[in-house]
Amino acid sequence: MTGNRAGATLEQVAAHIGVSRQTVSNALNAPHRLHPETLERALAAIDELGYRPNRNARGLRTRSSGLIGYRMTPRNRGVLTPLMDDFLHALCAAAEARDRHVLLFTAPPGEEGLGVYADLLAQRAVDAFVLAETLVGDPRPGWLAERGVPFAAFGRTWGRGEAGPWVDVDGAHGMAQVVEHLYSLGHRRIGFLGWREGDGVGDDRLRGWRIAAEGFALSTEDSLVVRGGNTIDAGRSGAAALLDSADPPTALVAVSDAVALGALALLAERGIPAGTGVAVTGFDDSPLAAATLPGLTSVRQPVERIAEQVLSLLDHQSTNESLLRPELVVRASSGRR
Amino acid sequence: MTGNRAGATLEQVAAHIGVSRQTVSNALNAPHRLHPETLERALAAIDELGYRPNRNARGLRTRSSGLIGYRMTPRNRGVLTPLMDDFLHALCAAAEARDRHVLLFTAPPGEEGLGVYADLLAQRAVDAFVLAETLVGDPRPGWLAERGVPFAAFGRTWGRGEAGPWVDVDGAHGMAQVVEHLYSLGHRRIGFLGWREGDGVGDDRLRGWRIAAEGFALSTEDSLVVRGGNTIDAGRSGAAALLDSADPPTALVAVSDAVALGALALLAERGIPAGTGVAVTGFDDSPLAAATLPGLTSVRQPVERIAEQVLSLLDHQSTNESLLRPELVVRASSGRR
DNA sequence: CCGCGCCATATGAACGTTCAAATCGTCTCC
DNA sequence: GGAGACGATTTGAACGTTCATATGGCGCGG
């Protein structure tokens, strides 16, 4: 754009080349309707005057805002959520590629928060939602589906029937890759540091560990599993419990990077070299993983592809489900024996 | 709201109680103009029909969107930014309290990114910006001020004159609190783990350490300062350098939690108990700080108050500047001697 | 008792776009 | 050569608000 003083209107652009509003409008929205030469002149004028369609006017007419609603992850507890922060960034970028934008909001979890969604829709502030951090029994997918509101979720819409399109990462498969990696390094007794039962994501990852271990005829006995919160501290005490058991594992598979960090801390305390002594792995490949010493072997979630897929489900509005494969990122913490 | 099928319009609400659109409009925007009884009936009808003003229509008329533009912190490098994520959450909540919302976007740093700001304005997608992570020589404040675009920054608009209103945290004062705390615990030789020179925030915190230490007649010689990136690894090697020096400090003051985490890791490796052996402190009081063992003494940034202030500067559009005091959060890593 | 001002409410217009339908040539085909 | 079809462009209306102004009733002072 050459000149960009302020807010040229469709009418002004049209007057500038002696055509009607609609012709200029078509230049942007339905170029095939225009005579090639007219199209060219229109585009030139648009560029010269720095015209950009007024989103409010367009939205008023088309009854849509071009905005996608996204609920921020609550910050109440002291929990790190680097993955979700990365996802939000990716979502934002992916939305821009489609000439849309992300509108943020906050809402309490559960039924209680539905009012906020209703309100945004009533105001026509957004015309679709991207759900994240769907919980088991989350009322949102059903509620939105009932009302015919376009939405797509990052994370399975756990429970009762297919309520809507979602994209998720195959956590079980990610864990299987981890176990296979450790097995190939010679580990034959692999412990699991998990979250408390009832979390869809955490249970899925545990399942992956169990299935893969069984596949290699490794033990998956209860004494190899410790469950707790998603904190460094929980990882530390969990690791201690496993290492102090009668037949301690030689590798610790953690359900997240935060938990793995705790395991690393415990090893450091005890003077056990992570990697060469006891192997440790995380999940999510957050910035934490690359920053520790030794670097933490982890499983990278393809956030960009997830965001891309979520938006594409939003557009095509097929009731599709898609499970993406995460990628094992090997660093020194899983060692070499 | 009792019934909330879909999109009641002003006209419909008006018809429902036999008045004109404008009367209902006034019930929301200028209640003082209405007869008390009419007001009551109007509000009742609004509630009954679940009316919510259409944001596009309102925005078209008033030439404003009620949206605040916010550039997401870039994710290119593997850097943790829990503070900014928290701030974004707080900003979002504070905006909602004023019946506004945050619209996210991405933009490259520097001059190059200004086009994105221009575009959002041209489309009237946002009517104000909140800037964060302002850099030394950041072109945005000046650019926006020139064009009369409302904005406010979290972070000083470093350099050349007062370009616009900002809110910031007094990092120097935060560090002074840290030093005073350590001094009161008996530390007389306090090292500093900082970022590389040229970062406004980092330099400010270093200044705070220096001034406070001088105030207690402690040494601030060059050998007590190590500078590097904002990573765990940098903190670890920095801590090693300080502890291996001729006259090692008994306390390590880190410029951020991530850096402090590295220092904690090094102490663990060497079997030195953090806190009782060598004291360590961080900055920002991110979730990391509470999750380590021992808990990391840190300095909490009042993100909610910052967000509140930023928005209030946006409204009053005074060229105000406001420096908030952070709060020392004492945990076990600073020890007890 | 009349005009003035004030209060409460109503009406017309405008914001800038897109949709639906109208216009006006031009070209084709029988 | 005229009907019809088609291509390119224009026109009128509508989306749902708010602004500016108009209307009408009522009390008050001269």
- What would the pLDDT profile of B76-105 be if each residue is shown by its tens digit? 656 677 889 999 999 999 999 999 999 999
A123/B54 CB distance under 8 A: yes
A269/B265 CB distance under 8 A: no
pLDDT band at A70; cut points 50, 70, 90: very high
- Bond from prior residue into A326 cis (ω within 30 degrees of 0): no
What 3-state DSSP class applies to B322?
Answer: strand
What Rg value do the Cα atoms of chain A yield, rounded?
25
Give the mean pLDDT of A201-229.
97
Q: Considering only the beta carbons, identify the residue of A88, A124, A293 that sits closest to B236.
A: A293
Residue B4: pLDDT above 60? no
Chain B: closest CA distance from residue A215 (Å): 35
Residue B317: pLDDT above 90? no
Residue B200 CB partners (closer than 8 Å, separation 6+): B134, B135, B136, B155, B156, B158
Tens digits of per-residue pLDDT, A80-105?
778 899 999 999 999 999 999 999 99
CB-CB neighbors (< 8 A) of B96 in chain A: 105-106
Q: How far apart are CA A209 and CA A190, in angstroms?
A: 9
Give the mean pLDDT of A254-270.
92
Give the mean pLDDT of B15-29.
96
Mean residue pLDDT across chain B: 92
Chain B: closest CA distance from residue A98 (Å): 13
The two counts, helices (H) then strands (E), for chain A are 13, 12
Tens digits of per-residue pLDDT, B225-249?
999 998 888 999 999 999 999 999 9
Interface test with A, best of B104, B117, B270, B331 (most A CBs within 10 A): B104
Q: How far apart are CA A134 and CA A157, in angstroms?
A: 6
Give the mean pLDDT of B10-18.
95
- CA angle (A158, A90, A283) in 5-degree steps: 60
pLDDT, residue B319, reads 67
Q: 3-state secondary structure string, B53-74?
A: CCHHHHHHHHCCCCEEEEECCC
Residue A321: pLDDT above 60? yes
pLDDT, residue A2, reads 42
Tens digits of per-residue pLDDT, B36-73?
999 999 999 999 999 999 999 999 999 999 999 999 99
pLDDT band at A288; cut points 50, 70, 90: confident
Q: Are B304 and B312 in contact (CB under 8 A)?
A: no
Sheet holding B251-254, edge to edge: B225-228, B190-195, B251-254, B279-281
- Nucleotide C18, nearest residue via CA and C1': A61
Residue A194: pLDDT above 60? yes
Tens digits of per-residue pLDDT, B183-226?
999 999 999 999 999 888 999 999 999 999 999 999 999 999 99
Q: Show which positions of strand C are touched by protein (CB under 7 A).
A: 7-12, 14-20
Give the mean pLDDT of B291-309.
92
Residue B265: pLDDT above 80? yes
Chain A: closest CA distance from residue B307 (Å): 15
Residue A3: pLDDT above 80? no
pLDDT, residue B77, reads 58
pLDDT, residue A318, reads 72
Residue A161: pLDDT above 80? no
Q: What is the DSSP letter of A276?
A: T
B22: alpha, beta or left? (left if phi > 0; alpha if psi -120 to 50): alpha
Strand partners, A131: A153
pLDDT, residue A319, reads 67
Other beta carbons within 10 Å of A223: 14
CB-CB neighbors (< 8 A) of A6 in chain B: 122
pLDDT, residue B293, reads 77
Residue B294: pLDDT above 90? no
Top-confidence residue, B291 or A275: A275
Which of A's residues 43-102 have CB atoms within 7 A of nucleic strand C? 51, 53-54, 57-58, 60-62
B106/A124 CB distance under 8 A: no
Residue B327 CB partners (closer than 8 Å, separation 6+): B299, B300, B302
Q: Considering only the beta carbons, identify the residue of B103, B262, B286 that sits closest to A101.
A: B103
Q: How far apart are CA A80 and CA A82, in angstroms?
A: 6
Strand partners, B193: B226, B254
- Bond from prior residue into A294 cis (ω within 30 degrees of 0): yes
B92/A72 CB distance under 8 A: yes
Residue B269 CB partners (closer than 8 Å, separation 6+): A268
Q: Are B164 and B151 in contact (CB under 8 A)?
A: yes
Tens digits of per-residue pLDDT, A238-249?
999 999 999 999
Name the token pair of B114. 């200004």
pLDDT, residue B1, reads 44
Residue A53: pLDDT above 80? yes
Mean residue pLDDT across chain A: 92
pLDDT, residue A160, reads 63
Name the token pair of B116. 């994105």
